[in-house]
């Protein structure tokens, strides 16, 4: 509910179990943008926000409320472009069952 208030997204699939069930879900689900925000926080814990050139994810599956998510990243590529050293990192949020909830890329400029 706190994220719904912060984001302005009060879709009842996020906070009304009966509504979610009536609409074909197994129960309420977390906001996808909240999952993306968790990945983003992991990225800014690793790199200064000023170094981030790109951050984007795709949503892979719904996240049930109460899921335990782990956000992680793996370096995919290092390159130099226009004299700037860049690192591309594959980032994702995975639940306690190993299911990827969202994943994408982060591009960071090395200082």
Averaged pLDDT, 75-82: 96
Q: Is 108 exposed, middle or buried (0-12, 13-18, 19+ CB in 10 A)?
A: buried
Q: Indicate the pTM of the whole model.
A: 0.89
pLDDT greater than 90 at residue 21: yes
Mean pLDDT of all residues belonging to the chain: 95
The domain defined by 34-109 folds into Thiol Ester Dehydrase; Chain A (3.10.129)
Domain regions of the chain by residue span: 34-109
pLDDT in tens, 28-73: 999 999 999 999 999 999 999 999 999 999 999 999 989 999 999 9
């Amino acid at each position: 509910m706190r994220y719904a208030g912060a984001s302005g997204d009060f879709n009842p699939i996020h906070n009304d179990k009966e509504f979610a069930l009536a609409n074909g879900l197994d129960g309420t689900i977390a906001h996808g943008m909240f999952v993306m925000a968790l990945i983003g926080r992991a990225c800014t814990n690793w790199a200064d926000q000023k170094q981030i050139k790109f951050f984007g994810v795709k949503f892979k599956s719904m996240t049930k409320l109460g899921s335990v998510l782990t956000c992680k990243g793996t370096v995919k590529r290092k390159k130099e472009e226009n004299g700037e050293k860049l690192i591309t990192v594959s980032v994702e949020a995975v639940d306690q069952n190993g299911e990827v909830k969202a994943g994408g890329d982060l591009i960071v400029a090395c200082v």
